[in-house]
Structure 1
Amino acid sequence: MKEQNSIPTSKVARATKFVKTGVKIGGNYLKHNVKKIIDPNISRDELHQDNAADIYSSLSEMKGSALKVTQMLSMDKGMLPRAYREKFAMSQYSAPPLSGPLVMKTFRKHFGKSPQELYDTFDINASNAASIGQVHKATKNGKPLAVKVQYPGVSESIGSDLKMIRPIAIAMFGLNENDVDRYMGEVAEKLIEETDYLLELKRSVEISEACAHIECLFFPKYYADLSCEKILTMDWLEGFHLNEFLKTNPSQEIRNKIGQALWDFYDFQIHTLRKVHADPHPGNFLMRKDGTMGIIDFGCIKVINDEFYDNYFALINFDTLDDNDKTTRIFKTLDFITKSDSEKEAIFFTELFKEMIFLLGKPFAVEEFDFADDEYFESVYLYAEKLQNLDELKSSKVARGSQHGLYINRTYFGLYSILNELKAKVTTTRPEWLRSNALKVY
């Protein structure tokens, strides 16, 4: 894979990169329209492929929040055409790596030493590269280590990047400007946290120790003396990323075993710790043939406040939706319906979000859910498409839904997507208060 010798870090350089990408995309549309004049039946597949390649090429060179957005988009199967999803998925662990001299510069800046002085061995060629940083393999005292090195200028460019991404988000996410402005603050906060490797070190130790009892999971040990704000050192974990794991043709028993461990991991974090690993893309999980799984990268953690938790998760128990007064109170608290809504609008959005909850909460309506059910996922994607095309949502002058739900929704969508890829059948554990009366055995 071709290495990068530099990353555009100034506002001008990054803005120029965005503009050049826009020009390329404009040229792709012009080429497509000319071809369509010659052949009116030509599809948009080639256009999507060209645009995906140009957008990914540009954003992968920029790194940081620009590339992180493509990572988030790649997790949403219903949001983008296949060409975009497949290309953007590369940002999870296959982005172009930083060159050796820039890695050396980062170590000397923060430790005053080269990596070769800190470790017994250090592979200057990155093992994998993602949106915020890249990982190098090293050894010390005979122990294999993973050393995550942050790209230069990532934290400093977050604010300006998100401003430039804003119009792209409006178009790609199908949101109105109110939605984007409201949620961008939440995204910016999480991205800033992800660039603080000392915070990640603290959270990694806390959550991995708290979850150590969960069957079939394993976590790396972290090394504070070999870590700093931009460099994080941990044990090297062996295992397969999801696509590689599936190529080993695991049995249904092993698929279910890993799927259950993944479900239990998130169930415990959300309902016991009230903080959650909110970056559930396949690059953060290392699966083994024996049904065990390593979990890495605790940079993106969503802390769940009590008011949001009590209201949001009450909706998982479908008994709640039978109580109209309680449902209305919760919908107002979570900003699904607002004070400015007319009676007609309140009724419309109440029914709309009830439909959404019944659909997305379906795994919680049974004791065991088969995530191999592609018909279920197709219905979810069709519903997402329906929401994007609703005039009532497009013309709404207010953002619908609490900003606190952004990363919780993303977490569940990522979890569901991985379980679907695994074709796993899972016992959908949850606290007793979230179990509907229809499921209780007397």
Structure 2
Amino acid sequence: MKEQSNIPTSKVERAGRFVTTGLKVGSNYIKHYTRKLMDPSTTKETLHQDNAADIYDTLSNLKGSALKVAQMLSMDKGMLPKAYTEKFAMSQYSAPPLSGPLVVNTFVKTLGKSPTQLYDTFEMQASNAASIGQVHKATKAGKTLAVKIQYPGVANSVKSDLRIVKPFAIRIVGMNEVDMDKYFDEIESKLLEETDYKLELRRSMDLSAACAHIPNLRFPGYYPDMSSERIITMDWLEGKHLKEFLLTNPSQEVRDKIGQALWDFYQFQVHSLKQVHADPHPGNFLMRPDGTVGIFDFGCVKEVPLDFYENYFLLVDKEVLKDEKRRHEIYTNLEMIHPTDTPKEVEFFSGLFQHMIDLLTLPFTVENFDFGNEAYFNEIYAYMDELYNMKEIRDSKVARGSRHSLYINRTYFGLYSILSELKANIITGNSRIKELAKS
């Protein structure tokens, strides 16, 4: 893959790239409608492919917050047209890497030494490159290391990038600006945390230690003396990312072991630690033929407020939800319905949310769940598509759902997606969650 010798860091230059991309997108729409005049049977598939390619090309070269938003959108298969999902998914671990001089400059600026002075060996070509940073392989005192380097200008461009990318997100997703305003504040706070590598190092060490007892998980050791505000040095983990791993045709037993380990990892964090690794895209996991899975990158950690946690997981309790008054109270607490809603709106949205909750919480209500059940996921995607196209939802003047739900929902959607790809059949019942809490 071609390396980048520079990244636009000024607000003016980055905004200019977006304006150029906006013109390309506009041109793509004109081409689409021209084709449609010539051939009324023309679909939007080519339009989506052209727009996805142009937008991703810009975002992957700008890196940072803009590319991170694309990565987040790619994880929700029900939110975007397929062309966007597939293209944006490349941001998970295959964005264009930085050139050698930029890498060396980051070391000298933040650690006062070049990579060759700090490590015994250092591979200048990146092993993978994502939205916030890229990873290089190194060795020191007989140990193989992974060195994560943050792209220049990322931390300083979070706020301005999000302001620029918002119109693209609104147009692609079809969400009202009021919804975006509510959630972009949450996204901004998390992205600012992700650019703080000292915070990430601390969280990585703490959460790895807290989850070390969970079977079949592997975490790297971390090296604070070879880390800085823009560099993190950790042990190199062997393994394959999800798509590569599945190409090896692993047995069902191995798929189930990995699936169980991931399920346990997330349930223990949410229910026992009240904080969670909230970036469950495939680029953050390395899967192995023995059924173990390596986990790294604790840059995005969502702390779960107790009142939100209590209300959110009451949604799993079918007995509680049978009480209409109690259900209304929970929906209100979670901002799914609002005090300003008319009785008709309360009835309408309560019905929609109840069906969605019944679908999404199903794994929690049974002892074992087969995530290889394609009919289950097809039903979810069909219902999400139905909601997306409902005029009442698109015309809603208020955002539905607490800001805290953004990253918690994202975490579970990401986890479900990985378990679905693995076709894992695992223990998901409440007894398993209680067992993890005791360990």
Residue aligning to 1:378 = 378
CA distance, structure 1, for counterparts of residue 199 and residue 347 of structure 2? 44
Tell me how far 1:96 sits from its aligned partner: 0.1
> Does structure 2 conserve the Cα–Cα contact (< 8 Å) formed by 1:316 and 1:434?
no
CA distance, structure 1, for counterparts of residue 110 and residue 433 of structure 2? 49
Residue aligning to 2:48 = 48
* Secondary structure at 2:33 match in 1: helix
> Does structure 2 conserve the Cα–Cα contact (< 8 Å) formed by 1:267 and 1:430?
no
* Secondary structure at 1:319 match in 2: helix
Tell me how far 1:251 sits from its aligned partner: 0.6
Instruction: Give per-residue Cα distances to partners, 1:301-357, cap 9 Å, x unaligned.
Output: 000011000000111122221111211111111111111111111121211211111
Instruction: Give per-residue Cα distances to partners, 1:148-207, cap 9 Å, x unaligned.
Output: 000001011010111111112222223212111111110000000000011000000111
> Does structure 1 conserve the Cα–Cα contact (< 8 Å) formed by 2:316 and 2:361?
yes
Instruction: Give per-residue Cα distances to partners, 1:213-263, cap 9 Å, x unaligned.
Output: 010111000000011111000000000000000000001111111101110
TM-score, normalised relative to structure 2: 0.97
CA distance, structure 1, for counterparts of residue 289 and residue 283 of structure 2? 17
Gap change, CA 1:23 and 1:72, over 3 Å in 2: same
- Residues 199-278 of structure 1 aligned to structure 2 (within 5 Å): 199-278=199-278
Instruction: Give per-residue Cα distances to partners, 1:18-69, cap 9 Å, x unaligned.
Output: 0111111122222223333333323332222221111111100000010001
> Does structure 2 conserve the Cα–Cα contact (< 8 Å) formed by 1:270 and 1:276?
yes
> Does structure 1 conserve the Cα–Cα contact (< 8 Å) formed by 2:60 and 2:96?
yes
Residue aligning to 1:2 = 2
Residue aligning to 1:129 = 129
Residue aligning to 1:317 = 317
Residue aligning to 1:181 = 181
Instruction: Give per-residue Cα distances to partners, 1:330-388, cap 9 Å, x unaligned.
Output: 11111111111111111212112111111111111211111011111111111111222
The letter for the 2-side match of 1:413 is F
Tell me how far 1:434 sits from its aligned partner: 9.3
* Structure 2 residues without counterparts, runs of 5 or longer: none
CA distance, structure 2, for counterparts of residue 37 and residue 390 of structure 1? 27
The letter for the 1-side match of 2:132 is I
Matched, 1:415 2:415: yes
Tell me how far 1:408 sits from its aligned partner: 0.2
Residue aligning to 1:80 = 80
The letter for the 2-side match of 1:192 is L
The letter for the 2-side match of 1:281 is H
Residue aligning to 1:193 = 193
CA distance, structure 1, for counterparts of residue 219 and residue 187 of structure 2? 26
> Does structure 2 conserve the Cα–Cα contact (< 8 Å) formed by 1:264 and 1:429?
no
> Does structure 2 conserve the Cα–Cα contact (< 8 Å) formed by 1:36 and 1:42?
yes
Residue aligning to 2:333 = 333
> Does structure 2 conserve the Cα–Cα contact (< 8 Å) formed by 1:14 and 1:62?
yes
> Does structure 2 conserve the Cα–Cα contact (< 8 Å) formed by 1:368 and 1:425?
yes
Tell me how far 1:80 sits from its aligned partner: 1.8
> Does structure 1 conserve the Cα–Cα contact (< 8 Å) formed by 2:367 and 2:430?
no
CA distance, structure 2, for counterparts of residue 104 and residue 326 of structure 1? 59
> Does structure 2 conserve the Cα–Cα contact (< 8 Å) formed by 1:211 and 1:265?
yes
Residue aligning to 1:28 = 28
> Does structure 2 conserve the Cα–Cα contact (< 8 Å) formed by 1:182 and 1:403?
yes
CA distance, structure 2, for counterparts of residue 74 and residue 29 of structure 1? 22
CA distance, structure 2, for counterparts of residue 345 and residue 415 of structure 1? 32
CA distance, structure 2, for counterparts of residue 352 and residue 50 of structure 1? 34
> Does structure 1 conserve the Cα–Cα contact (< 8 Å) formed by 2:366 and 2:429?
no
> Does structure 1 conserve the Cα–Cα contact (< 8 Å) formed by 2:137 and 2:145?
yes
- Residues 105-116 of structure 1 aligned to structure 2 (within 5 Å): 105-116=105-116
The letter for the 2-side match of 1:294 is G
The letter for the 1-side match of 2:92 is Q
CA distance, structure 1, for counterparts of residue 334 and residue 43 of structure 2? 41
Residue aligning to 2:365 = 365
- Residues 301-312 of structure 1 aligned to structure 2 (within 5 Å): 301-312=301-312
Gap change, CA 1:306 and 1:432, over 3 Å in 2: farther
The letter for the 2-side match of 1:328 is H
Residue aligning to 1:404 = 404
Instruction: Give per-residue Cα distances to partners, 1:99-138, cap 9 Å, x unaligned.
Output: 1111111111111111111111111111000000000000
Tell me how far 1:431 sits from its aligned partner: 6.1
The alignment-based identity, stated in percent, is: 63
Matched, 1:59 2:59: yes
The letter for the 2-side match of 1:343 is P
Tell me how far 1:271 sits from its aligned partner: 0.3
Tell me how far 1:433 sits from its aligned partner: 9.8
* Secondary structure at 1:16 match in 2: helix
The letter for the 1-side match of 2:121 is T
> Does structure 2 conserve the Cα–Cα contact (< 8 Å) formed by 1:271 and 1:431?
no
CA distance, structure 2, for counterparts of residue 149 and residue 185 of structure 1? 26
The letter for the 2-side match of 1:361 is T
CA distance, structure 2, for counterparts of residue 430 and residue 171 of structure 1? 40
* Structure 1 residues without counterparts, runs of 5 or longer: 436-442
Q: For this pair of structures, how many residues does the alignment match?
A: 435
Q: Which moved more, 1:39-48 or 1:192-201?
A: 39-48
